[in-house]
A = this chain, B = another copy of it.
């Protein structure tokens, strides 16, 4: 089966990193198609970037639906455009933020999130409330690392992320950590070993969840809020 993974920003190096991580965790019979729109913001840092990334994201989802992909992953931790994508698609659509929250809830009573910039905290907190999982999250922390610094091996991004994980373990009573950006996908295993806590990455979590949905034969409900768009001039 094909799983479409859409990185909704236009930074191809991030798309590559996401593809590699997704392929590592995918089942034998699964093909990962990782894409990004060619126009739109280079990274998603806050509400404005997120809103502008959505039309490009939806166009990629539409192509995946046309190819009958078995499922779609939205590879931005803000789950940008998730509801609109679900309205458009019949196949299941999973955001990497929600994937990480759901998966983490199965191995720990309580987790903290470590994301990039403080301006993303309200977006993540709002998603947690919407998903219902806010009560499972001790705190959303920002390492104050720009998204694209994660693509730069020379930056001090990793050190800042580690400082927040340490604080979460010490101060938040966090039993596990969720990494709050697709660009952190390659750090989870190392950080887990270092801190002695499960560290959950959303990209790999989302790939296994969307595969699970496909294997269970479950598709997005078209009864209610995710009903297919009505015909009209757009």
Q: Which A residues lie at the B interface, using CB under 8 A?
A: 10, 25, 27-28, 40-43, 45-52, 54-55, 58, 81, 83-84, 86-88, 92, 94, 98, 102-103, 105-110, 118-119, 121-123, 126, 129-136, 146, 169, 173-176, 189, 192, 196-198, 200, 204-205, 208-209, 211-213, 215-221, 223-227, 229-230, 232-234
Q: Are A46 and B109 in contact (CB under 8 A)?
A: no
Q: Shortest Cβ distance from A131 into chain B, in angstroms?
A: 7
A120 to B229, CA, bound (A): 12
Of B25, B52, B94, B234, which contacts A40 at CB under 8 A?
B234
Copies per assembly: 6
CB pair A119 B227 closer than 8 Å? yes
A130-B129, A133-B132 as given contacts; A46 in contact with B200, CB under 8 Å? no
Contact: B189 with A41, CB < 8 Å? no
In the A-B complex, the 8 residue pairs with the closest CB atoms? A122-B225, A208-B212, A51-B84, A175-B224, A47-B83, A108-B221, A175-B221, A48-B87
Decide: B121 and A130 in contact? CB cutoff 8 A: no
A–B Cβ pairs within 8 angstroms, 23 of them = A27-B27, A46-B227, A47-B226, A51-B58, A51-B81, A92-B107, A98-B105, A102-B105, A103-B212, A107-B213, A107-B221, A108-B220, A109-B224, A109-B225, A121-B173, A169-B223, A175-B224, A176-B221, A176-B223, A189-B217, A200-B216, A205-B212, A209-B212
